[in-house]
Amino acid sequence: MPERTRPRGDHGSGSARDPRTLVMGVLNVTPDSFSDGGRYERLEEAVARGAELAAQGAHVIDVGGESTRPGAEPVPVDEEQRRVLGVIEALTAQGIDVSVDTIHAATAEAAVAAGARYINDVSGGTHDPAMLGVAAAAARERGVRFIAGHWRGVPDPAHGRSDYADVVAEVREELAQRARAALAAGIDRSRLVLDPGLGFDKTGAQCWELLARLDELTGLGYPVLIGASRKRMIADALDGLPAASRATAPGASGHPRDLATSVTSALAAGAGAWGVRVHDVAGTVQALAIGRAFQSARVHDGGGEDGAPPEAPAPDRITLTGLEVFAHHGVFDFEREQGQRFLVDAELAVELRAAAAGDQLSRTVHYGELAEAIVAAVRRDPVDLIETVAERVAQLALGFAGVRRATITVHKPDAPIPAAFGDVSVTVVREAPDPRPAGRTEPPRRGDRRES
C-alpha cells in the first residue's frame, strides 16, 4: 500500500510545488475503453488491479463503467452500476480511497453509498441535471469531493466543437461557470475540483496550450486535476521520433505512451496541478519523485529568504453595494411566511491588470452575472440566520474566476427588533484557498474521465 501521511479520505490540496501531488489510478471495468477496455471486466481481476495500483502509490482509484472515448456506445445506468459497485465496495473495504467516473447522477449516488469518496464527472454536471444536487448532498453528508470536467458534449472525433479563439481563456471561463453552478447547488467550495478535460473536443495542440498556461486555470482558486494519460496528444508529440524509440513499453503491462505520460504528469505537477490521473501509477510516482527532488534543490538554491518567492502584490477590488433582495429568512414563522427586504454589499479582491491590459471581460468579474447570482442565492432555501446567508453569498462569490477574497455584508433593515434602530447587519470575510501553497499537505482526490 502507498505511504499514507494523512488519514484515509483526507487528500487535500497537492500542487505544483506540493511534495505530494495526488495520483489517481485509472481502473476501467468496461469492454470498450480506448486504452485498456476488457482487461478488468471480472470483479476479481478489477479488485486485484485496484489493489495493485494502490500498492504502487495511487492515492485514489478511479473506477469507471462507461467509456467516453469518441464513438463509444452509451451504457444503461443499471449496467454501469453492475460493473462498478461491487468493485467500489471491495476496494473501500480494503481501506483504499475510490472515485467513481460517471456522468450519471444515479450511479454517482449509488457509488457514494458504496463508499466512493469522489464523484468524477467529465461533463461537470451538464449531462445529468440531477448530478449537482447529488454531489451537493454527498459533499455535505459524507465529505465527498466533486470533480467537474470541461466538455462540450460527447467527444467529436472530427473536432467540430474545437473552434476556440483562445482555448485557455474559453476553457477557464466555462470552468468558472461550472464552479458557480456547483456552488449555487450547495457544493462547498472546499469539496470542488476542476479538470480542463484534455482530449474532450480539444486538438492535441490545444491540450498542450492548456498545460503550458496551467497557471491561468489554477488562478481560479480551485484544485486542478490533469488527465493526459495515453491520450492522442501524447502520440502526436512523439510522432517525429524514430520508430524504434516508440516501439516498446516499460514493464509487462506497459503502454507505448506511458513513459511520455509520466513526464507530462511531472511537468503538470510542477506547473501547479493538484492531481494527475494515470494508467501507469508506478512510472508516474517515480517521475513525480524526481520532480520533487529537482524542485527542492531549486528552492534551496535561490529565491527569497529560504527560497520563498516574493510576496504577491495586494489585489484590486470590485465592489457591489446596496443589492436589494426580497426573501423569507428569519427565526419567526411570520418572517418565513411574509418575507422581507435584505440588502447585500459585496467586495471582491481580484487581480484586474490582465483584464485592463487586454480590455477583456473574460478576465474580470461580470458585474451583472455577479448580481444575478447573489440574488438567486439569497432567495433560495430560507434559513434562520443572516450569518448563514452571508456565508452562502461569500462561497458563491469565491467561485467567480480569479476572486481571492470576498467580503460580504448582509443587512436586515426591517428586522423584528422591538426598539428604534437604523440597521442590523452581518459581515463575513472569506479567502479562496491557495491552489498551490508551499508545503501543502492535502491533495484532494479527483476522478477524471477522459478518453477512457
Measure the CA–CA gap between 430 and 371, rounded to whole angstroms.
Answer: 18
Distance, C-alpha 242 to centroid of its chain: 37
- Catalytic member of 231, 430, 436, 445: 231
Q: Tell me the three cell numbers of residue 117.
A: 469518496
The H or E element that residue 48 is part of is helix 43-56
User: Which residue is it, cell 498551490?
Assistant: 436
In our burial notation (b when 16+ CB lie closer than 10 A, e otherwise), range 156-185 reads eeeeeebebeebbbbbbbbbbbbbbbbbbb
Euclidean distance between CA atoms 310 and 370, whole angstroms = 32
DSSP alpha helix (H) spans, 125-231 = 131-142, 167-184, 204-212, 214-218
Q: Cβ–Cβ contacts within 10 Å for residue 206, how many? A: 20
DSSP designation for 200: S
Q: What are the distances in angstroms from CA 90 to CA 61, 236, 371, 425?
A: 12, 38, 47, 51
Query: Is residue 69 annotated as a catalytic residue, yes or no?
Result: no
Q: Which of 49, 172, 277, 404 is catalytic?
A: 277
Q: Among candidates 129, 135, 124, 144, which has minimal Cα distance to 186? A: 135
Q: How far is CA 188 from the centre of its chain?
A: 12
- Closest listed residue to residue 234, CA positions, set 261, 198, 209: 261
Q: Are 270 and 21 in contact (CB under 8 A)?
A: no
Residue 376: strand, helix, or coil = helix
Radius of gyration of the chain (CA): 23
166, 170, 185, 210, 284 from 360: Cα distances, Å: 12, 12, 28, 19, 38
Is residue 231 among the annotated active site residues?
yes
Active-site annotation, residues: 231, 277
